[in-house]
Chain A
Amino acid sequence: MAERSIRFKESKSVTSTPASATRRSRHILPGFGLSLGYTVTWLSLLVLIPLAGCVIKAGGLSWRQWVNMLGEPRVRAALVVSFGTAAAAAGINSVVGLIIAWVLVRYDFWGRRLLDALVDFPFALPTAVAGLTFSDLFVQGHHKIGWLAAIWNPVADRLTTAVNGLWPGVLLPDSLHGVYTPFAIVLVLIFTGFPFVIRTIQPVLEDLDPEIEEAAASLGATPWQAFRKVIFPTILPAWLTGLALAFARGIGEYGAVIFVSGNIRGRTEIVPVLIVEQLDQYKYDGATGLSVVLLVGSGAVLLTINLLSAWRGRRG
């Protein structure tokens, strides 16, 4: 490269006087204005203005409208289905996710890398495709039986009879089948949610200090005690965060659920389906109201988890 004299841009030279430096850009690197401009424009267009519209709409609802909307049996049923299935799925995911994260981090075996890559599949697979294939796997009747239905339904029927035997009438006959039941929704939400738990726990597990575990073992702890008293408290905040993320995703999930749920009013209808129906009828008030309920629900869970983690962090 030919020698070139070092030319300092005037305003960015370290030898320029402070007065002249402040008159021009304060930043050494260029692009402040451009990047700020594009960022702000894009964010406003995509996030701020639309959210403002939603807030204005929601703020325009009267108290009476909220009460009426939340009092409707159909809305209440949908809220129970949405929050209930998401909670059940998140609960199961928290256990399953912990086990899988543990296995992926602590054990080495043939195929571990492949399994690790597969964990991201629910992130990459479109929800409609996931819903389509799950509903096909569990469909029963007409001229076709899905693979999993053939295996699972007999088991499910026996389970249902057994449970009904102990507690008569608690489960409807098809309750544990894989389509058109809340159980089906839970299954699909397990699929879409378990990567959240695994991916939040994995980094923390990987960063665990082996010395602490060795210290516990040298003090006589069994592996289970070491897990319970040493490892689990360390990963607890990440575990809770993963759980909250899976829950938030679960109450908002639309594409995957509508294929398997059948949208049976009162039994498998989720809140997003109600929102879409209200929008189709141009009932923007109702749709916005329901959306706010969903947002508040997931926001509250995330906030609680964050506060819990911060509180534990300060204590521990």
Chain B
Amino acid sequence: MKPGEGSSVAVRPRAGAGWVVRWGLIGFTVAFMGVFILVPVVNIFWQAFSGGLGKYAQAFYVSPPLPGVEGAEADKLADLAENAAQNRAAIGMTLFVAAIVVPLNALFGIAAAWWTTKFKVRGQSLLLTLIDVPFSVSPVIAGLVFVLLFGAQGYLRGPLQDLGNSWGQTLFLGGLVRGLVYTGTHIIFNWPGVVLATCFVTFPFVARELIPVLQAQGSDEEQAAVSLGANGWQMFYRVTLVNIKWGLIYGVILCNARAMGEFGAVNVVSGNVRGANVTVPLRIQQLYEDFNLPGAFALATLLAALAVVTLILKAVLEKRVEKAT
């Protein structure tokens, strides 16, 4: 085409060069994704099941040897049973932490999105910056900041534990409350630390998902509801929640996947002592260090399956969210 010679037809590259480039690039993409994504993920399931289903199940439950039975076989069985029990404890811990973290962070996401999008406030960009903090810091730093506060020489440890000890002793309700207060104030190397660190790492997900959704919707429907006499909760349940349903679910799913898979931050705050406050990712590392690869991969299949389910749901929900905005 010479300059000045207009074209009213969509320009197509010359068949030869264009075709080579196009399929070359596509081929590169497929090869790259194949090597970097498909092979590692398939490997997880392959290694986990390569010993057979029996070996795979051994990672989750092994009946301990009957009491009184001795011998090398019994010892091996006891070891396997102990391993499986610790694996189950790790799964329980992960579920426990996620059950606390995800609802709390979902509430935060709703509150933060509500506050920034429905009212004219001046702190909006500061809030958005703060919300992005966990994305830009290393997980190890996320754990470190809590150790600085609550660890052995931490700033808040002394005051907090004094509080816990004094309250725990004076409260009339005795053992249970005292235990709760004591637990709650011993944060690092204990489950509250794991919960806090996981909260830190995952709280942006729901907020970042809801803010654009709420922003795109505007306040008209809620204002209409209020003008018709709805109180706050009615308006929220019947109008807002209906509109943000898909975005909320989407954010919750991402938050959950990250909460269950967090490694670096939890590694720092949990102390990594066998059997105590160990989540599934930490347990995988312990098994790996013990050269117990079948066990490590068995637990890894759980998390990999969670990742696959997360991605599927993500793809499905993305369309619904797009329709809502």
Q: Residues on A close to B: CB < 8 A?
A: 4, 6-9, 12, 27-32, 34-36, 38-39, 42-43, 46-51, 53-54, 56-57, 96, 99-100, 102-104, 107, 109, 111, 113, 115, 117-122, 124-130, 132-137, 146-148, 190-191, 194, 214, 217-220, 223, 248, 251-255, 258-259, 272, 275-276, 279, 282, 284, 287-288, 291, 294-295, 298-299, 302
Contacts and interface: CB of A to CB of B under 8 A. Distances in A.
The 9 closest A-B pairs by CB, nearest first: A126-B261, A252-B138, A255-B263, A30-B232, A50-B145, A254-B264, A128-B281, A124-B307, A38-B111
Interface string B111-148: 11011001100000001001001101111110111111
B119 A27 contact: yes
Nearest to A122: B37
B1 A148 contact: no
Contacts of B226: 9, 12, 28-30
A9 B115 CA distance: 20
Interface stretch (B24-32, B62-70, B78-86, B173-181): B24-32
B136 A288 contact: no
Contact of B137 (A38, A48, A99, A252): A252
Contacts of B186: none
Given A252-B141, A284-B153, A129 B303 contact: yes
B284 interface: yes
Interface of B: 1-3, 5-7, 10-11, 13, 17-18, 21-22, 25-26, 28-30, 32-33, 35-41, 43-44, 47, 104, 107-108, 110-112, 114-115, 118-119, 127, 130, 133-134, 136-141, 143-149, 151-156, 196, 199-200, 203, 219, 222-223, 226-229, 231-232, 235-236, 254, 257, 260-264, 267-268, 281-282, 284-285, 288, 293, 296-297, 300, 303-304, 306-308, 310-312, 314-315
A134 B112 contact: no
B6 to A, nearest CB: 6
B264 A127 contact: yes
A225 to B, nearest CB: 12
Contacts of B200: 46-47, 50
14 contacts: A29-B226, A53-B156, A99-B25, A111-B30, A115-B33, A126-B261, A136-B47, A136-B297, A191-B36, A251-B138, A272-B138, A284-B153, A291-B138, A295-B137
A44 to B, nearest CB: 10
A173 B112 CA distance: 54
Nearest to B28: A99
Contacts of A288: 144, 148
Which among B104, B114, B133, B140 has the greatest number of chain A C-beta atoms within 10 A?
A: B140
